[in-house]
Amino acid sequence: MNWLHAIILGIVEGITEFLPVSSTGHLNIVEKMLGYDIDSVGMTAFTAVIQIGAILAAVVYFWSDIVRIVRAWVTGLARKDERANPDYVLGWGIILGSLPVAVLGLVLKDFIEVTARSLWIIAGALIVWSVVMWLADRRENLTKDMSQVSIKDALVIGGFQALAPIFPGISRSGATISAGLFLGFDRVTATRLSFFMGIPALIAAGLLEAITAADHITATVGWTATLIATVTSGVVAYATIAWLLRFVSSNKFTGFLIYRVVLGVVIIALVVSGVVAA
């Protein structure tokens, strides 16, 4: 992979990872347009690894929150009287809520890396999940905040998150934000929970691919291009995070939903016309 393609794919990853529009779907589409075989082990690993850049951007952006949550969780383990702290509960919620996607990711690894990357599945999931998000976004009484997150809430959000790798067009952030809205959290809190739930899952997925598919990346994409794409995704993702949190503080997700449906229709048209292979 040349450096220009690496930068383009890094930008795509950085913009789409945290927006409810499916980063994997966008990467697969752009990778195909650039002439790459998205079903190859090397490209699958590349797609997972460059997510680490975007996730590290989230870690930097939410560093003070992460330190506070970890401190409360560790303190709560040692002292029973500290376990009523909402951050202690949130810490357990993030850990337990990350388990569904980890388990399904390992069990369905072959399906996720091959069959689930079909453009037919991506297009269908983009369109169908837009209806789910539309219903979630129009719920009334979205008043719950971060201090009201329960273990049950985290498990529900984690369950929704586990759907994203199986049906890439759903979007991990789209799934988790939808779950948060259905549970009654305000849009900013639902979005922040989406970030927190994604950090352990995506870092683990990226590191697993980097370790197990290192030789395939070396033989195909190349580590220089992979590192360039990863750094690019991190820089772009940081700006995207800041923008998204400002946006959802005063807007619904309608614009994203329209974009998802249009993109799904365009993908179907391109596949049917033979411009790109599914």
Q: Are 193 and 149 in contact (CB under 8 A)?
A: yes
**How does 198-236 read in b/e, with b if 16+ C-beta sit within 10 Å?**
bbbbbbebbebbbeebeebbeebbbeebbebbbbbbbeb
Q: Are 86 and 148 in contact (CB under 8 A)?
A: yes
Q: Is the pLDDT of residue 224 over 70?
A: yes
pLDDT digit string, tens, across residues 196-214: 988 888 888 778 777 877 8
pLDDT score of 110: 62
Q: What average pLDDT does the segment 171-197 reach?
A: 92
Half-sphere exposure of 116 (CA within 13 A, CB side): 21
Q: Is the pLDDT of residue 27 over 80?
A: yes
Compute how many other C-beta atoms are within 10 angstroms of the C-beta atom of residue 166.
Answer: 17
Q: Is the pLDDT of residue 180 over 80?
A: yes
Q: Is the pLDDT of residue 278 over 90?
A: no
Distance CA 99, CA 101 (A): 6
pLDDT score of 112: 59
Q: What average pLDDT does the segment 8-32 reach?
A: 89
Half-sphere exposure of 243 (CA within 13 A, CB side): 10
pLDDT score of 25: 79
The residue that leads in pLDDT, 252 or 208, is 252
Question: pTM of the predicted model, to two decimals?
Answer: 0.86
pLDDT score of 113: 58
pLDDT score of 237: 95
44 membership: H or E segment, kind and range: helix 41-49
Q: Is the pLDDT of residue 114 over 60?
A: no
